[in-house]
């Protein structure tokens, strides 16, 4: 699915602030983008999605391009994040699931036995050609703005498959991982292959960086993460070449060192841990390695406060980020639906006005 002519047409991004920071360099400004910047906070997004399901939109190249471009045009962010969903490769592979409004992904038949794992389909690159085609459209539209591809990490995909949907306690997931580790590892190995394939398709199509989301990894102890999850995340990251690899999880303050050891170039940090403390934990994990690069980590809820409060918190995050080898400003999770888009634009302007 590689399209060399398109990739070559816009690969002169050596000075793009996001890519410079991701490599541990000093960019000409602090790069900033927002998780879920292409989504529910934008009225133009809501209008476009009014009569389209999430999954159909994610597999429509024209919609993928337009929705991905909306926050770039509106906010002037330093990166676009591909409009998609973590369950897209599962759906494209043939897993019977749907994204239910107000609930999230719902799997028709949960995966809980060795036979269920054996029956899981693999992902053929051709099944996600619409995603690659959308990336091709974006390469022409983005100019010198980098494009970040993304996918869900094996553990988070497993939790949806095992629970059958979102879960507060992940009880079936934890029961399987401890009571039947052979089946657990077989499942995560399959999902690591699926995630790796999905990201490789995006890289071949021309994305400039990738982010792997482990939304539910914070439900795990450090011991369980290191023994039962990290090897599979490392398997994904080790199979990706040529672009910066960002690894982000929610509630993963105790897992930051293990996440870095899995092989990410940039570790995303949620709002619960100050960036300077996160840097200390990341350094301790790889004491002989380069200074860690971090992404984050303004609390998304702060964006609903008065702008004076927002400015104070933005400046704090930037100051704490100076402890890192590189800092990509972002939120500690995704943009909340009730966020005023004009506030996001003002935050971008504020961050760009501060010295790197």
Q: Confidence band (pLDDT; 50, 70, 90) for 102? A: confident
Characterize 45-84 residue by residue with b for buried, 16 or more Cβ atoms within 10 angstroms of its Cβ, and e for exposed.
Answer: beeebeeeebbebbbbbebbbbbbbbbbebbebbbbbbbb
Q: How far apart are CA 295 and CA 85, in angstroms?
A: 20
In terms of residue numbers, what domain contains 231?
4-352
Q: How far apart are CA 231 and CA 48, in angstroms?
A: 40
3 has pLDDT over 70: no
Is 49 a residue of the active site? yes
Query: Could you tell me the two tokens for 135?
Result: 């990336």
pLDDT over 90 percentage in the chain: 95
Split at pLDDT 50, 70, 90, the class of 18 is: very high
Is residue 333 within 8 Å of residue 295, measured between CB atoms? no
* pLDDT-derived band at 12, boundaries 50, 70, 90: confident
Residue 169, both tokens: 């306690």
Helix (H, G, I), strand (E, B) or coil at 136: helix
How high is the pLDDT of residue 250?
Answer: 96
Rounded alpha-carbon distances, angstroms, from residue 247 to 85, 211, 217: 16, 6, 11
**Whole-angstrom Cα distance, residue 165 to residue 161?**
7
Assess whether 225 carries a catalytic annotation: no
Q: Span 292-311, mean pLDDT?
A: 98
Of 49, 74, 129, 272, the active-site residue reads 49
Percent of the residues in the chain that have a pLDDT greater than 70, as a whole number = 97
Which H/E stretch holds residue 168?
none
Angle between helix 129-142 and 61-75 (nearest 10): 30
Q: What is the spatial distance between Cα 104 and Cα 126, in angstroms, rounded to a whole number? A: 26
Predicted confidence (pLDDT) per residue in 111-168, tens digit: 999 999 999 999 999 999 999 999 999 999 999 999 999 999 999 999 999 999 999 9
Q: What total number of domains does the chain contain?
A: 1
6 pLDDT above the threshold of 50: no
Q: What is the mean pLDDT of the chain?
A: 95
Q: Per-residue pLDDT averaged across 10-19, rounded? A: 85
Q: 220 in helix, strand or coil?
A: coil
Q: What is the pLDDT of residues 154-210, one digit of tens each?
A: 999 999 999 999 999 999 999 999 999 999 999 999 999 999 999 999 999 999 999
Torsion, CA 214, CA 219, CA 223, CA 227, rounded to 10: -40
What pLDDT sits at residue 4?
Answer: 40
Write down the catalytic residue from 60, 78, 85, 265. Answer: 85
Q: Any idea what the CATH number is for the domain that residue 174 is in?
A: 3.20.20.210
Give pLDDT, residue 10.
44
Residue 193: Cβ within 10 Å count:
17
For residue 98, give the 3-state DSSP assignment: strand
Active site residue 29: no
**Which of 287, 230, 208, 221 minimizes the C-alpha distance to 253?**
221
Instruction: Tell me: pLDDT of 1 over 90.
Output: no
For strand 104-107 and strand 97-100, is the pairing parallel, antiparallel, or unpaired?
antiparallel
pTM, rounded to two decimals = 0.95
pLDDT confidence band for 11 (50 / 70 / 90) = low
Catalytic site residue from 45, 91, 160, 225 = 160
272 pLDDT higher than 50: yes
pLDDT at 7 over 80: no
156 Cβ contact partners less than 8 Å away, ≥ 6 residues apart: 86, 213, 214, 215, 216, 217
Beta bridge partners of 99: 105
What are phi and psi for residue 272, nearest 5 degrees?
A: -80, -20
CA distance 76 to 134: 21
């Amino acid at each position: 699915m590689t399209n060399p002519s398109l990739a070559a047409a816009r690969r002169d991004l050596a000075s793009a602030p996001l890519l410079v920071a991701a490599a541990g360099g000093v960019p000409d400004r602090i790069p900033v983008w927002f998780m879920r910047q292409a989504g529910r906070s934008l009225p133009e997004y809501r209008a476009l999605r009014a009569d389209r399901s999430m999954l159909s939109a994610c597999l429509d190249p024209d919609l993928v391009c337009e929705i991905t471009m909306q926050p770039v045009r509106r906010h002037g962010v330093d990166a676009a994040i591909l409009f998609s969903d973590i369950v897209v490769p599962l759906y494209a592979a043939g897993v019977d699931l749907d994204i239910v409004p107000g609930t999230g992904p719902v799997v028709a038949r949960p995966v809980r036995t060795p036979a269920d794992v054996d029956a899981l389909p693999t992902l053929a690159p051709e099944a996600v050609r619409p995603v690659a085609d959308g990336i091709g459209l974006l390469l022409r539209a983005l100019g010198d703005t980098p494009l970040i591809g993304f996918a869900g990490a094996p553990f988070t995909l497993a939790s949806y498959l095992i629970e059958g949907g979102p879960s507060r306690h992940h009880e079936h997931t934890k029961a399987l991982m401890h009571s039947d580790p052979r089946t657990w590892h077989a499942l995560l190995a399959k999902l690591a292959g699926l995630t790796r394939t999905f990201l490789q398709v995006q890289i071949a199509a021309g994305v400039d960086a990738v982010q792997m989301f482990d939304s539910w990894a914070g439900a795990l102890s450090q011991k369980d993460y290191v023994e039962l999850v990290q090897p599979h995340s490392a398997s994904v990251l080790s199979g990706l070449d040529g672009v910066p690899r960002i690894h982000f999880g929610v509630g993963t303050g105790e897992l930051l060192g293990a996440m870095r050891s899995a092989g990410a170039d940039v570790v995303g940090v949620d709002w619960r841990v100050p960036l300077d403390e996160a840097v200390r934990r990341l350094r301790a994990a790889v004491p002989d390695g380069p200074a860690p690069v971090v992404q984050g980590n303004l609390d998304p809820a702060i964006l609903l406060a008065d702008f004076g409060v927002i400015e104070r918190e933005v400046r704090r995050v930037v100051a704490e980020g100076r402890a890192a080898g590189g800092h990509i400003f972002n939120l500690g999770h995704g943009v909340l639906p009730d966020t005023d888009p004009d506030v996001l634009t003002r935050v971008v302007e504020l961050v760009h006005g501060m010295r790197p």
